[in-house]
Amino acid sequence: MALDFTHVFEPGDPGRTLLLLHGTGGDENDLVPLGRQLAPGAGILSPRGKVLENGMPRYFRRLAVGQLDIPDLLERTDELADFLAAAADEYGFRPGGVIAVGLSNGANIAASLLFRRPGALGGAALLRPMLPYAAPEDLDLSGVPVLVASGGRDQFVPPVESEELVAQLGDRGADVEYRFEPTAGHGLTQEDLVATQRWLADVSPVGGSKPPNLDQL
């Protein structure tokens, strides 16, 4: 399969690669500086979403705010998983060492990757996600590290959505850390970034490697 997403790749530890997934209106460059800061030494793979909503890139279509186009999401999830496999072959990083760092729309497709193509990721930091759809009952995410971060004043994703996602991930064996910031909205805070860096420094992706201790942000 061709590398058919416009993307940025920066080589690093082949056993530890950050898959950076932007929010609505972002592109392949938006999260790269953040990725370098969050996990120095890790490889970086940052694809641009192929769907346009009023000219703004997304990873999949939605019918309205909070109403996802599930058939399109499933198709796009498979497409992204296939791209990851092709990129691992092209660039020589270990597939099991891929940790997604997704924001909003990017977090939702990362959650869908965990649900539908769990072998594509060794872990995921889901920042301001919703539950995209019910996780399969027979899904086994045993030992997969996942961080979920939500805000109490998020105007797009009520905390109950993130809490249900946390519950379904935990019920299927994932090692979930849930971070709730009561005063935060949909945008990320400095506290989110510090917590994400700490989480990344502490976890070992399935099939990947654990980094040395790093200074905090």
Which residue numbers are catalytic?
A: 104, 154, 186
- C-alpha distances in angstroms, 3 versus 16, 90, 91? 20, 9, 11
Length of the chain in terms of residues written: 217
Amino acid at 206: V
Work out whether strand 51-53 and strand 67-68 pair parallel, antiparallel, or are unpaired.
unpaired
Q: Name, in order, each residue with C-beta under 8 angstroms of 34's C-beta and a sequence gap of 6 or more.
A: 20, 101, 193
The first and second tokens of residue 126, run together, are 């889901």
Gap between the Cα atoms of 44 and 196, Å rounded: 16
